[in-house]
Amino acid sequence: MKTKLKVTVSHERCMGSTTCVFLASDSFILTNENKAEFIGQNNSLDAIKEAAENCPVNAIRVEIE
Ligand code: SF4
């Protein structure tokens, strides 16, 4: 069974580095305002966690639901 995640991106913190988009490209997009948005759990748990861990401003929060 797939672990269900609740992922939030702080737009206050996000500075558009695109790291998360690069590491989990099916789960994060960059908006026109250069802010990342979580669009769905379309990558593996590990990839999404890696994206969160590598965000330079710690803007991504991952919780297991
Ligand atoms: S890695 Fe962090 S700062 Fe970079 S785009 Fe994603 S949320 Fe924004």
Continuous segment of H or E residues that includes residue 60:
strand 60-64
Pocket of ligand 1 (CB under 6 A): 9, 14-20, 36, 55-57, 59-60
Q: Cα of 63 to ligand 1 centre, how many Å?
A: 17
Atom of ligand 1 nearest to the CA of 9: 7
Q: Which pLDDT value is given to residue 65? A: 87
| pLDDT tens-digit readout, 3-59 | 899 999 999 999 999 999 999 999 999 999 999 999 999 999 999 999 999 999 999
Residue type, 56: P
Distance 28 CA to ligand 1 centre (A): 9
The tokens for 22 are 């690069």
Distance 51 CA to ligand 1 centre (A): 8
Q: Residue 52: in which H helix or E strand, if any? A: helix 45-54
CB-based contact 19:55 (threshold 8 Å): yes
pLDDT at res. 23: 98
Per-residue confidence band for 2, with pLDDT thresholds at 50, 70 and 90: confident
The pLDDT of residue 60 is 98
- pTM given for the model: 0.95
Domains and CATH numbers, the chain: 5-64 (3.30.70.20)
pLDDT of 6 reads 97
